[in-house]
Amino acid sequence: MVRDVTELYHEFGDDRLPPGQRKTEKFPVLSKSGTPEFDPETWEFSVTGAVGKELSFSWDEFRDLPCETQRQDFHCVTGWSKFDCEFSGVTFPELAERAAVADGAVHVMFYGMDDYTTDLPLEQCMRDEVLFAWGHDGDDLPREHGGPLRVVTPHRYAYKGSKWVNGVEFLTDPERGYWEKRGYSDSADPWNEERYS
Ligand SMILES: Nc1nc2c(c(=O)[nH]1)N[C@H]1C(S)=C(S)[C@@H](COP(=O)(O)O)O[C@H]1N2
Ligand SMILES: [Mo]
Protein backbone atom coordinates (compact mmCIF):
# COMPACT_ATOMS: atom_id res chain seq x y z
CA MET A 1 0.00 0.00 0.00
CA VAL A 2 1.22 3.47 -0.92
CA ARG A 3 0.34 6.48 1.18
CA ASP A 4 -0.07 9.49 -1.13
CA VAL A 5 1.21 12.62 0.65
CA THR A 6 1.48 14.83 -2.44
CA GLU A 7 -1.41 16.95 -1.12
CA LEU A 8 0.61 18.29 1.78
CA TYR A 9 1.27 21.50 -0.18
CA HIS A 10 -2.22 22.74 0.84
CA GLU A 11 -0.70 23.47 4.23
CA PHE A 12 1.86 25.83 2.67
CA GLY A 13 0.60 27.25 -0.63
CA ASP A 14 -1.96 27.21 -3.41
CA ASP A 15 0.00 25.27 -6.00
CA ARG A 16 1.56 21.87 -5.90
CA LEU A 17 4.55 23.30 -7.79
CA PRO A 18 6.18 25.85 -5.47
CA PRO A 19 6.95 29.32 -6.90
CA GLY A 20 10.09 29.58 -9.02
CA GLN A 21 10.32 25.79 -9.53
CA ARG A 22 10.29 23.84 -12.81
CA LYS A 23 8.95 20.34 -13.03
CA THR A 24 11.36 17.67 -14.25
CA GLU A 25 10.82 14.02 -15.05
CA LYS A 26 14.50 13.30 -14.42
CA PHE A 27 16.03 12.73 -11.02
CA PRO A 28 19.25 14.77 -11.05
CA VAL A 29 22.03 13.95 -8.57
CA LEU A 30 23.32 16.73 -6.30
CA SER A 31 26.16 15.83 -3.97
CA LYS A 32 28.71 18.12 -2.37
CA SER A 33 31.37 15.42 -2.84
CA GLY A 34 31.43 11.80 -4.00
CA THR A 35 29.30 8.83 -3.02
CA PRO A 36 30.71 7.29 0.19
CA GLU A 37 31.38 3.56 0.59
CA PHE A 38 28.73 1.35 2.19
CA ASP A 39 29.45 -1.96 3.88
CA PRO A 40 26.28 -3.57 5.31
CA GLU A 41 28.42 -5.51 7.80
CA THR A 42 29.90 -2.43 9.48
CA TRP A 43 27.25 0.24 8.78
CA GLU A 44 25.85 1.67 11.98
CA PHE A 45 23.09 4.19 12.56
CA SER A 46 22.94 6.15 15.81
CA VAL A 47 20.37 8.27 17.60
CA THR A 48 22.00 10.52 20.20
CA GLY A 49 21.61 13.73 22.21
CA ALA A 50 18.55 14.85 24.15
CA VAL A 51 16.81 11.49 24.29
CA GLY A 52 15.79 9.14 27.09
CA LYS A 53 17.43 6.26 25.28
CA GLU A 54 20.30 6.52 22.80
CA LEU A 55 19.89 3.99 19.99
CA SER A 56 22.16 2.22 17.58
CA PHE A 57 21.17 -0.02 14.69
CA SER A 58 23.03 -2.35 12.36
CA TRP A 59 21.84 -2.41 8.76
CA ASP A 60 19.78 -5.55 9.38
CA GLU A 61 18.28 -4.08 12.54
CA PHE A 62 17.32 -0.88 10.78
CA ARG A 63 15.67 -2.81 7.97
CA ASP A 64 13.57 -4.68 10.54
CA LEU A 65 11.92 -1.46 11.76
CA PRO A 66 8.30 -0.85 10.72
CA CYS A 67 8.25 0.84 7.33
CA GLU A 68 5.86 2.32 4.83
CA THR A 69 5.79 3.52 1.23
CA GLN A 70 4.74 7.07 0.36
CA ARG A 71 4.20 8.99 -2.86
CA GLN A 72 5.95 12.34 -2.40
CA ASP A 73 7.17 15.35 -4.33
CA PHE A 74 10.82 16.42 -4.19
CA HIS A 75 11.85 20.09 -4.44
CA CYS A 76 15.49 21.06 -5.01
CA VAL A 77 16.54 24.57 -4.01
CA THR A 78 18.33 24.96 -7.37
CA GLY A 79 14.89 25.11 -9.04
CA TRP A 80 13.70 21.66 -10.09
CA SER A 81 10.87 19.61 -8.63
CA LYS A 82 10.17 15.96 -9.24
CA PHE A 83 6.62 14.80 -8.59
CA ASP A 84 5.41 11.38 -7.48
CA CYS A 85 8.55 9.78 -6.10
CA GLU A 86 7.79 6.58 -4.23
CA PHE A 87 9.97 6.31 -1.15
CA SER A 88 9.94 3.43 1.32
CA GLY A 89 11.34 3.70 4.79
CA VAL A 90 10.89 4.46 8.47
CA THR A 91 9.07 7.60 9.61
CA PHE A 92 10.84 10.13 11.80
CA PRO A 93 8.18 9.94 14.55
CA GLU A 94 8.61 6.15 14.68
CA LEU A 95 12.30 6.56 15.45
CA ALA A 96 11.76 9.50 17.81
CA GLU A 97 9.31 7.48 19.86
CA ARG A 98 11.77 4.60 20.25
CA ALA A 99 14.41 7.04 21.48
CA ALA A 100 12.03 8.73 23.95
CA VAL A 101 12.92 12.27 22.92
CA ALA A 102 13.55 14.50 25.94
CA ASP A 103 11.31 17.47 26.79
CA GLY A 104 14.17 19.91 26.22
CA ALA A 105 14.82 18.80 22.64
CA VAL A 106 13.87 21.51 20.14
CA HIS A 107 16.10 20.87 17.16
CA VAL A 108 17.60 18.01 15.16
CA MET A 109 20.92 17.50 13.35
CA PHE A 110 21.22 14.83 10.65
CA TYR A 111 24.63 13.35 9.77
CA GLY A 112 25.64 11.90 6.42
CA MET A 113 28.52 9.52 5.73
CA ASP A 114 30.08 12.13 3.40
CA ASP A 115 30.39 14.51 6.39
CA TYR A 116 27.23 16.30 5.33
CA THR A 117 25.03 17.74 8.03
CA THR A 118 21.66 19.44 7.92
CA ASP A 119 19.35 20.68 10.64
CA LEU A 120 15.65 21.24 11.21
CA PRO A 121 13.46 22.31 14.13
CA LEU A 122 12.10 19.23 15.90
CA GLU A 123 8.52 20.15 15.03
CA GLN A 124 9.41 20.13 11.31
CA CYS A 125 10.76 16.59 11.75
CA MET A 126 7.84 15.17 13.73
CA ARG A 127 5.80 14.48 10.61
CA ASP A 128 5.18 11.11 9.03
CA GLU A 129 6.32 12.53 5.67
CA VAL A 130 9.88 12.82 7.01
CA LEU A 131 11.17 9.40 6.07
CA PHE A 132 14.45 7.55 6.52
CA ALA A 133 14.17 6.02 3.09
CA TRP A 134 15.93 2.91 1.83
CA GLY A 135 13.66 2.30 -1.17
CA HIS A 136 12.77 4.28 -4.28
CA ASP A 137 10.15 3.29 -6.87
CA GLY A 138 10.20 -0.34 -5.73
CA ASP A 139 13.98 -0.78 -5.77
CA ASP A 140 16.79 -0.14 -3.36
CA LEU A 141 17.53 3.58 -3.19
CA PRO A 142 20.30 4.14 -5.76
CA ARG A 143 23.67 4.77 -4.12
CA GLU A 144 24.11 8.17 -5.81
CA HIS A 145 20.73 9.26 -4.43
CA GLY A 146 21.82 8.45 -0.90
CA GLY A 147 21.54 4.69 -0.65
CA PRO A 148 21.55 2.73 1.53
CA LEU A 149 19.60 5.29 3.56
CA ARG A 150 18.61 8.94 3.16
CA VAL A 151 16.14 11.38 4.63
CA VAL A 152 13.40 12.91 2.51
CA THR A 153 11.59 16.14 3.44
CA PRO A 154 8.78 16.80 0.93
CA HIS A 155 7.63 19.89 2.86
CA ARG A 156 11.11 21.48 2.70
CA TYR A 157 13.79 21.92 0.05
CA ALA A 158 15.64 18.68 -0.49
CA TYR A 159 18.93 19.80 1.06
CA LYS A 160 17.15 19.23 4.38
CA GLY A 161 17.19 15.51 3.57
CA SER A 162 20.63 14.03 4.23
CA LYS A 163 21.72 11.33 1.82
CA TRP A 164 23.81 8.45 3.28
CA VAL A 165 22.38 9.32 6.69
CA ASN A 166 23.87 7.40 9.61
CA GLY A 167 23.11 9.59 12.58
CA VAL A 168 20.47 11.79 14.15
CA GLU A 169 21.16 14.05 17.10
CA PHE A 170 18.48 15.74 19.17
CA LEU A 171 19.54 19.21 20.32
CA THR A 172 18.38 21.57 23.07
CA ASP A 173 19.57 24.59 21.04
CA PRO A 174 19.50 25.12 17.26
CA GLU A 175 22.72 24.53 15.32
CA ARG A 176 23.40 24.91 11.59
CA GLY A 177 24.27 22.22 9.08
CA TYR A 178 26.59 22.23 6.06
CA TRP A 179 24.55 24.38 3.62
CA GLU A 180 22.86 26.38 6.36
CA LYS A 181 26.33 27.62 7.45
CA ARG A 182 27.04 28.55 3.82
CA GLY A 183 24.05 30.84 3.28
CA TYR A 184 21.14 28.55 2.55
CA SER A 185 17.95 29.12 4.48
CA ASP A 186 17.49 27.54 7.90
CA SER A 187 13.76 27.13 7.37
CA ALA A 188 13.73 26.18 3.63
CA ASP A 189 9.97 26.41 2.96
CA PRO A 190 9.61 26.02 -0.84
CA TRP A 191 6.17 27.72 -1.00
CA ASN A 192 7.65 30.77 0.71
CA GLU A 193 10.80 30.57 -1.47
CA GLU A 194 13.04 30.43 1.58
CA ARG A 195 16.19 29.61 -0.42
CA TYR A 196 18.83 31.79 1.20
CA SER A 197 19.28 33.23 4.67
N1 LIG B 1 24.83 13.56 2.55
C2 LIG B 1 24.41 14.45 1.65
N3 LIG B 1 23.10 14.70 1.58
C4 LIG B 1 22.63 15.59 0.69
C5 LIG B 1 23.50 16.30 -0.17
C6 LIG B 1 24.89 16.00 -0.07
O7 LIG B 1 25.73 16.57 -0.79
N8 LIG B 1 25.30 15.07 0.84
N9 LIG B 1 22.98 17.22 -1.06
C10 LIG B 1 21.66 17.78 -0.73
C11 LIG B 1 21.07 18.53 -1.80
S12 LIG B 1 21.63 20.11 -2.03
C13 LIG B 1 20.00 18.06 -2.52
S14 LIG B 1 19.16 19.01 -3.66
C15 LIG B 1 19.58 16.64 -2.40
C16 LIG B 1 19.78 15.99 -3.73
O17 LIG B 1 19.35 14.66 -3.73
P18 LIG B 1 19.55 13.80 -5.04
O19 LIG B 1 21.01 13.80 -5.38
O20 LIG B 1 19.00 12.46 -4.73
O21 LIG B 1 18.75 14.50 -6.12
O22 LIG B 1 20.31 15.94 -1.41
C23 LIG B 1 20.69 16.68 -0.29
N24 LIG B 1 21.29 15.81 0.66
MO1 LIG C 1 20.03 21.12 -3.47
Q: What does 5-22 look like in DSSP terms, one character per residue?
A: -GGGGGGT-S-SS-TT-E
Which of 31, 78, 149 best tests ligand 1's pocket when mutated (most atoms within 8 Å of CB)?
31
Q: Residue range 35-52: average pLDDT? A: 98
Rounded Cα distance, 43 and 49, in Å: 20
Q: Which of 87, 122, 67 is nearest to 6 (CA)?
A: 87
Report pLDDT for 127.
98
In ligand 1, the atom with minimum distance to the C-alpha of 146 is 20
What is residue 151's predicted lDDT score, i.e. its pLDDT?
Answer: 99
Rounded Cα–Cα distance for residues 197 and 180 (Å) = 8
CB 56, CB 171: distance < 8 Å: no
The answer to whether the beta carbons of residues 111 and 162 sit under 8 Å apart is yes
Mean pLDDT value across residues 104-133: 98
Residues of the chain with pLDDT > 90, as a percent, come to 100
User: What is the residue-averaged pLDDT of the chain?
Assistant: 98
Q: Which of 127, 119, 120, 114 is nearest to 166 (CA)?
A: 114
Q: Please tell me the number of the ligand nearest to residue 179's CA.
A: 1
Q: For residue 65, give the amino acid letter.
A: L
| DSSP β-ladder status, 165-171 and 107-112 | antiparallel
Q: Is the CB of 166 under 6 A from ligand 1?
A: no
Give the model's pLDDT for residue 179: 98
Average pLDDT over residues 52-78: 98
At residue 86, the pLDDT reads: 98
Is 142 close to ligand 1, i.e. is its CB under 6 Å away? no
Helix (H, G, I), strand (E, B) or coil at 92: helix
Hey, what amino acid is at 58?
S
Please compute the mean of the pLDDT values over residues 11-35 and round it to a whole number: 97
Q: How many residues does the chain have?
A: 197
Best mutation site among 21, 24, 30, 78 for ligand 1, i.e. most ligand atoms within 8 A of its Cβ?
Answer: 30
What is the arithmetic mean of pLDDT over 67-90? 98
Residues linked to residue 69 through DSSP beta bridges, in sequence order? 2, 88
> Which sequence spans correspond to the domains of the chain?
2-12+41-192
Task: Out of 1.10.8.50, 3.40.50.2300, 3.90.420.10, 3.40.1280.30, select the CATH number for domain 2-12+41-192.
Answer: 3.90.420.10
Classify 128 as helix, strand or coil: coil
pLDDT at 108 (0 to 100):
98
Q: Which of 33, 159, 179, 181 to mutate to test the pocket of ligand 1 (most atoms within 8 A of CB)?
A: 159
Distance CA 186, CA 42 (A): 32
Q: If you average pLDDT over residues 114-137, what whole number do you get?
A: 98
Neighbouring CB atoms inside 10 A of 157's CB total: 25
